[in-house]
Structure 1
Amino acid sequence: MKTTIYKLAAFLKAENTQIANDIVDSVILKMNLSLSDVEVGRAINMYQDLLEFLSLSLQTENMDIPEELIEWSKQNAYAQVSANKKISEIILRYPPTREIFTDFVSRWAYHYQLSTEEYTLVLKKINRMLDVSLEKTVIAFEEYNAKVKEGFEEEIDIISFPIVPLTENMAVVPLVGRLDEHRANHLIDSVLPKVNNLKINYLIMDFSGVCEIDELAARSIHNAVSMLKLLGIQVISTGISPKLAYTAVSIGVGAVGVNSYQSVRQALESLNS
């Protein structure tokens, strides 16, 4: 057994560059992929490392996974997230890749007269590496995507809650989008301290751009209003839709603010009258 498997191992080590090129060309042709020269080069380098490792593992019966394969999988995931592409585009490449590897192994088995046991061993090692690669790719994609999403949400929070001074003692905070617990907490933790630093007497919270508010967010904003009152800042709410008003009343927090107006303009006219 060792004689034939060692011959295959030596072949994989000596011809890994050509084999890697053939595998990449076969995958691209089979799936009709359009890859950049950089992507093709990275794939070829990865398969060279994989074949080098496969050669070594056939001689030592080592089932560890090469770090190069894991890193390549992570880089693929990162590239998908950066390009705003779907993970399914990568996942769909694995079944055809397995088929291509099976074809290659079948040719090697015929040429080197591998036994059924040897043939199965080679396939087992290759499938193990592909399984780990797929697993690491999906995990890395989820991790990178979560980080990007978190950063995006933070930027949206900052943009969504600008503090606009109107006069020396008055400012307005236009609220937009969907208000959930996360964004309500951002309002309390980041925006309200800035409001206090302005040394104003009135703060208008304009809800005209809010499309939805959940129960936890409504309670958080209600608590924020109470905190501002303790700081000597009178809160005025504007632009509350019937839907938002129903949500507030249904959970028992009532209208947000001391006074409520249909628009910021109405609130300003009332305060200046």
Structure 2
Amino acid sequence: MQVAEHDTADGVAKELGGFLERRREQIAQRWADAPLFRTVFTVSRDEAVEACKAVVDALADVARSGRLEDVQAPGFAAVRDQLGRMAASRTQAGFSSSQIAGEVAGLREPTLTLLRAEFEDSSSEHLEACLLALTVLMGTLRLVVMETSVSAGEELIARQQLQLLEVATPVIKLWEGIVAVPLIGTLDSARSQVVMESLLEAIVDQRARYAILDITGVPTVDSLVAQHLMKTVAAARLMGAECIVSGIRPAIAQTIVHLGIDLGTIITRAGLADALAYALTEQGIVVSQGPAQGGSPR
């Protein structure tokens, strides 16, 4: 009995695949006007229709394989990238995964209408079996799109986080051969990597001999932060630049001492101005303090 039921289900799935293949053009034409496709493919309706056809072909392949509930069915591989791009486009437009899934669910009704017309002369049991198979298949498509939309959302967040890190860690040219990175906020591993990469690129581009890491805006310095700083200093030295760490406040100095962190090999200065004066002096540029405002030179 179980074998017979399996064969029946497999037969219905194959029959569904045949229906999707025969009605490919009609389904694609109806889907092309659905929000999911219409708002993504805005250049021409023909472009939306072709995208719809590709998805229908994928569903037909999945149905013929009998793997109606398998999101990893080979048939979906052909359109997974396309579905991912569509989901990403909707995500960037501000739609949530549930809203995108709702748009996918909207593709089911026009397809059901065509299926009912196709099998109107069949027995009610056979029609119900075909409708159920299509419902299951469309539900799987919905899961595939939700999966890709979540992935697209995660990739978008990751890109935005990286962009924020890059914006938050600018490399500034202070003088010929001198660059500086003013650090503000927590210095974690991800941000430290961005700082190092940005600084090394600036050293090469500017042919800098001195690089200043100003930590005035870093709230706390622990052993991990110190380790990141030392790695950045070592990398800069390998590129031929001397690093100066500035902005070491009394509280941070005490913390470094209490933690037993050895910064003896690193040049440190209290403030950015002191670090710049040191770098200028090392390059043979005389730095002198001008007269006080309102005073007269002597």
Aligned partner (choices 87, 91, 99) of residue 101 of structure 2: 91
Counterpart amino acid of residue 172 in structure 1:
A
Matched, 1:265 2:273: yes
Please list the CA deviations of residues 147-198 of structure 1 after superposition, one character each: whole Å capped at 9, or x if unmatched.
8835972795488242525366x54332345421123234446635865995
Matched, 1:138 2:147: yes
Structure 1: runs of 5+ lacking an equivalent? none
CA separation of 1:76 and 1:57: change in aligned 2, threshold 3 A: closer
Aligned partner (choices 137, 153, 156) of residue 128 of structure 1: 137
Query: SS at the partner of 1:221?
Result: helix
Counterpart amino acid of residue 18 in structure 1:
Q
Q: 8 Å contact 1:204–1:236 — kept in the other structure?
A: yes
Percent identity of the aligned residues? 20
CA separation of 1:131 and 1:259: change in aligned 2, threshold 3 A: same
Counterpart amino acid of residue 128 in structure 1:
L
Paired residue for 2:83? 73
Q: Distance in 1 between matches of 2:85 and 2:243?
A: 52
CA separation of 1:110 and 1:232: change in aligned 2, threshold 3 A: closer
Structure 2: runs of 5+ lacking an equivalent? 1-7, 68-72, 282-286, 289-298
Q: Distance in 2 between matches of 1:13 and 1:95?
A: 20
Paired residue for 1:204? 212
CA separation of 1:165 and 1:216: change in aligned 2, threshold 3 A: same
Paired residue for 2:3? none
Please list the CA deviations of residues 122-157 of structure 1 after superposition, one character each: whole Å capped at 9, or x if unmatched.
432553354146325634762685388359727954
Taking structure 1 as the reference length, what is the TM-score of the superposition? 0.61
Aligned residues: 262
How much has 1:233 moved relative to structure 2?
3.6
Correspondences of 1:221-260 after superposition (within 5 Å): 221-225=229-233, 233=242, 235-238=244-247, 240=248, 252-253=260-261, 258-260=267-269
Q: Distance in 1 between matches of 2:40 and 2:110?
A: 20
How much has 1:245 moved relative to structure 2?
6.4
Please list the CA deviations of residues 210-233 of structure 1 after superposition, one character each: whole Å capped at 9, or x if unmatched.
467776333211444477789894
CA separation of 1:148 and 1:236: change in aligned 2, threshold 3 A: closer
RMSD: 5.2
Q: Distance in 2 between matches of 1:73 and 1:106?
A: 24
Paired residue for 1:45? 50
Taking structure 2 as the reference length, what is the TM-score of the superposition? 0.57
Correspondences of 1:158-197 after superposition (within 5 Å): 160-162=169-171, 164-166=173-175, 171-176=179-184, 178-188=186-196, 191=199, 195=203
Q: Distance in 1 between matches of 2:26 and 2:208?
A: 72
CA separation of 1:15 and 1:163: change in aligned 2, threshold 3 A: closer
Matched, 1:104 2:122: no
Please list the CA deviations of residues 26-51 of structure 1 after superposition, one character each: whole Å capped at 9, or x if unmatched.
x54xx9x8666448655543444555
